[in-house]
C-alpha cells in the first residue's frame, strides 16, 4: 500500500472521528459537521470536542481531543482560525492521523492568514498528520458512509469529485444526484495548504471503486507534480477537469476565494492535453461527460450514428461535427436495410436516421440502433429516449384496467432492456437524448439509467458525451 493510500484512508475511511468545535447552534459549522454524519449513518465512533458541554447531539463531549478515550483516526476542526495551531498540536499529541480543517481565515484573507496557515502546516507535517483544507466545506465518502458536507447525502457511486469550491462543488453533486448519478467521494480542497488536488488524484486513482475522477479547480499548486500525477492516473481512469480562473476577472476572483494563483492558462491547457486530462468548456459539462464514461464502452473511432426524430437528429449531427466527430453517410444498400427497421412513413435514412415521429415499440427502436452498431464504420450511437405510444395509446383508450396494457408495458420494458445490452454486445457506446419531458410516472428512464445508458436533455449534451468518450479512447490508444 502506498503512503498516500495509507494516509488518506484515515480521512476517507476513518474508524473514528472527533469533531473539534462541535456545537448545538444550528447556524454553526460545528453543528453541521456533527449532525450530518450522525443523521446519515456513519458507523464509526463519533466524539464531540467542546469546552462547554458534557454531551452534544447525544454524543459525549470532551474539553480537548486529548481527553477522548480510544484512538481517533480523523478529526474535523471548525474552531476560529486563531485557535487552530493549538488544536492541531493537540491532535498531534493525541495521535490523530488525518484532519479535515473547515475553519477559514487563512491564506485567502492575506499575508497574516498565510503565516498562520504555514504554521499549522508545519505542526501537522512534524506530527505526521495530513489534512484537508483549510477553508473548505469538508468531505463525503461512500467507503465509510461518512458525510460531513451534504444536507442530503449523495447516492453512492463511482465518481470521485475533487472540488476547489465547497458550495459550487456541492451544488454540482446535488445536480448529479437529482439525475440519478452517484458518487464515490467528494472533497472540497479549500486552500490546499497540505493535501493538494494531486494527492487526491493519486489516492483515488488507486481506489478500485472510483471509475472517473472529476475536478473543479481554480488554481493548481505545483503544476508539474499535478500534471505528472494526472499522466499516471489517466492510464487507469479518465480525469475530467473544469478549471476556472482562466480570464483576468476569474483569476482575481480565484485569488480571494481560495488564494489560488491561476497562472498561464495557455501553458496549463497544453500540459493537460499532453497528460490526457479532458478539460471542459463549461462547469457542468464534467458531470455530463462523467456519466457516459462510467458505464459505456470506449469507441474505436469518432464516427457517430444518429437516430432521432426530425430536428433532434439535425441538431445532433451539427453538434457532433462542430466537435470534430464524424457523421458518415450510409450507402444505398445500408440505407435500405436500416429502413426496414423504421416506421412506414420514415424517409430513406442517410445518417442521421429520422424515425419520423415515433416507433411503435422500444424494441423497434432498439432494432434500428442495432443495425447502426453492426456497421463497421460506426463507432458510437446517439438515439432518442424511447417513448411508448403503444402503452400510452392503450392507457388513453380504456385506462389502466385495459387488459392489453400489462402486455404492452412488458413489451416496452423488454425493448428498453434490449437497447441497454447493445453497447456491451457491440463494444460501442450509446447515449440517449430526451425528446419529451420526463413524466413522473414514466418507469422507462429508470431502466435506461440502471442499464448504464446516460440520458441527456439536449442533443448538444449527447454530442459532448460522445466527444468525452472519444477523447479518452484516443488517449488510451496512443
**Residues 179 to 218: which contact its own copies by CB under 8 A?**
216, 218
Count of C-beta atoms within a 10 Å radius of residue 95: 14
The residue range among 63-71, 122-130, 167-175, 197-205 that interacts with its own copies, by the rule CB under 8 A, is 167-175
**Residues 10 to 39: which contact its own copies by CB under 8 A?**
26-27
Q: From CA 292, how far away is CA 298, in angstroms rounded?
A: 10
**Residues 433 to 452: which contact its own copies by CB under 8 A?**
434-437
**Residues 360 to 379: which contact its own copies by CB under 8 A?**
none
Nearer Cβ to its own copies, position 51 or 439? 439
CB of 401 to its own copies, least distance (A): 16
**Residues 37 to 96: which contact its own copies by CB under 8 A?**
none
Among 89, 171, 221, 374, binds its own copies (CB under 8 A): 171
Nearer Cβ to its own copies, position 96 or 319? 319
Cell matching residue 103: 475553519
The residue range among 11-19, 207-215, 403-411, 454-462 that interacts with its own copies, by the rule CB under 8 A, is 454-462
Among 7, 64, 109, 206, binds its own copies (CB under 8 A): 109
Count of C-beta atoms within a 10 Å radius of residue 3: 9
Question: What is 42-100 written as a DSSP string?
Answer: --SEEEEE-SS-SEETTEEEESSGGG-SS--SEEEE-S-GGGHHHHHHHHHHHT--EEE
Q: How far apart are the first and last CA of the chain?
A: 29
CB contact at 8 A, 187 and 161: yes
344 binds its own copies (CB under 8 A): no
CB of 232 to its own copies, least distance (A): 27
How many amino acids of this chain bind its own copies (CB under 8 A)?
73
Handedness of CA 455, 294, 321, 375 (dihedral sign): negative
Beta strands 455-456 and 55-56 are: unpaired
Taking 3-state DSSP, the helix, strand and coil percentages for the chain, each rounded to the nearest 5, stand at 45, 15, 35
Q: 379: burial class by Cβ within 10 Å (0-12, 13-18, 19+)?
A: buried
Nearest to 188 by CA among 134, 237, 238, 142: 134
Among 12, 42, 161, 168, binds its own copies (CB under 8 A): 168
Nearer Cβ to its own copies, position 15 or 171? 171
175 binds its own copies (CB under 8 A): yes
**Residues 246 to 275: which contact its own copies by CB under 8 A?**
246-250, 252-254, 256-258
Please provide residue 12's backbone torsions phi and psi, each rounded to the nearest 5 degrees.
-95, -15
**Residues 294 to 313: which contact its own copies by CB under 8 A?**
306, 309-313
Nearer Cβ to its own copies, position 23 or 45? 23
Beta strands 59-62 and 98-101 are: unpaired
CB of 372 to its own copies, least distance (A): 14
CB of 374 to its own copies, least distance (A): 20
Give the residues across from 456 on adjacent strands: 433
The residue range among 93-101, 293-301, 352-360, 406-414 that interacts with its own copies, by the rule CB under 8 A, is 352-360
Nearer Cβ to its own copies, position 174 or 370? 174
Beta strands 139-141 and 146-147 are: antiparallel
138 binds its own copies (CB under 8 A): no
The residue range among 40-48, 90-98, 340-348, 361-369 that interacts with its own copies, by the rule CB under 8 A, is 340-348
Cell matching residue 383: 438515439
Cell matching residue 406: 400489462
Binding mask 397-416 for its own copies (x = CB under 8 A): x-------------------
Amino acid at each position: 500500500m502506498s503512503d498516500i493510500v495509507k494516509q488518506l484512508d484515515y480521512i476517507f475511511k476513518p474508524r473514528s472521528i472527533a469533531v473539534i468545535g462541535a456545537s448545538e447552534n444550528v447556524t454553526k459549522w460545528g453543528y453541521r459537521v456533527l449532525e450530518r454524519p450522525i443523521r446519515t449513518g456513519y458507523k464509526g465512533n463519533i466524539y464531540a470536542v467542546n469546552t462547554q458541554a458534557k454531551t452534544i447531539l447525544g454524543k459525549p463531549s470532551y474539553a480537548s481531543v486529548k481527553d477522548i478515550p480510544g484512538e481517533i483516526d480523523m478529526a474535523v476542526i471548525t474552531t476560529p482560525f486563531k485557535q487552530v495551531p493549538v488544536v492541531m498540536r493537540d491532535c498531534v499529541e493525541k495521535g490523530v492521523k488525518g484532519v479535515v480543517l473547515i475553519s477559514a481565515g487563512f491564506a485567502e484573507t492575506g499575508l497574516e492568514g498565510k503565516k498562520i496557515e504555514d504554521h499549522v502546516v508545519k505542526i501537522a507535517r512534524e506530527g505526521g498528520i495530513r489534512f484537508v483544507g483549510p477553508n473548505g466545506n469538508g468531505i463525503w465518502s461512500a467507503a465509510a458512509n461518512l458525510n460531513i458536507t451534504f444536507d442530503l447525502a449523495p447516492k453512492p457511486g463511482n465518481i470521485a469529485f475533487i472540488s476547489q469550491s465547497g458550495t459550487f462543488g456541492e451544488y454540482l453533486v446535488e445536480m448529479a444526484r437529482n439525475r440519478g448519478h452517484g458518487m464515490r467521494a467528494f472533497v472540497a480542497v479549500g486552500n490546499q495548504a497540505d493535501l493538494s488536488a494531486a494527492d487526491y488524484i493519486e489516492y483515488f486513482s488507486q481506489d478500485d471503486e472510483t471509475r472517473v475522477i472529476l475536478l473543479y479547480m481554480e488554481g493548481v499548486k505545483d503544476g508539474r507534480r499535478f500534471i505528472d500525477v494526472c499522466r499516471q492516473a489517466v492510464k487507469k481512469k479518465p480525469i475530467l477537469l473544469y478549471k476556472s480562473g482562466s480570464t483576468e476577472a476569474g483569476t482575481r476572483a480565484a485569488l480571494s476565494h481560495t488564494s489560488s494563483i491561476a497562472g498561464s492558462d495557455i501553458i496549463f491547457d497544453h500540459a493537460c492535453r499532453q497528460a490526457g486530462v479532458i478539460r471542459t468548456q463549461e462547469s457542468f459539462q464534467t458531470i455530463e461527460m462523467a456519466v457516459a464514461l462510467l458505464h459505456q464502452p470506449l469507441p474505436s473511432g469518432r464516427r457517430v450514428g444518429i437516430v432521432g426524430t426530425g430536428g433532434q437528429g439535425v441538431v445532433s449531427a451539427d453538434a457532433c461535427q462542430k466537435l470534430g466527430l464524424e457523421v458518415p453517410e450510409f450507402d444505398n444498400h445500408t440505407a435500405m436495410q436500416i429502413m426496414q427497421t423504421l416506421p412506414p412513413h420514415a424517409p430513406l435514412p442517410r445518417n442521421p436516421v429520422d424515425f419520423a415521429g415515433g416507433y411503435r415499440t422500444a424494441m423497434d427502436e432498439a432494432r434500428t440502433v442495432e443495425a447502426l452498431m453492426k456497421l463497421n464504420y460506426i463507432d458510437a450511437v446517439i438515439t432518442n429516449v424511447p417513448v411508448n405510444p403503444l402503452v400510452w395509446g392503450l392507457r388513453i383508450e380504456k385506462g389502466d384496467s385495459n387488459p392489453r396494457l400489462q402486455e404492452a408495458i412488458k413489451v416496452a420494458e423488454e425493448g428498453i432492456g434490449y437497447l441497454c445490452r447493445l453497447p456491451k454486445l457491440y463494444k460501442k457506446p450509446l447515449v440517449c437524448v430526451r425528446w419529451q419531458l420526463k413524466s413522473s410516472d414514466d418507469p422507462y428512464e429508470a431502466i435506461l439509467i440502471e442499464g448504464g445508458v446516460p440520458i441527456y436533455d439536449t442533443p448538444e449534451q449527447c454530442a459532448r458525451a460522445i466527444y468525452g468518450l472519444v477523447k479518452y479512447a484516443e488517449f488510451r490508444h496512443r
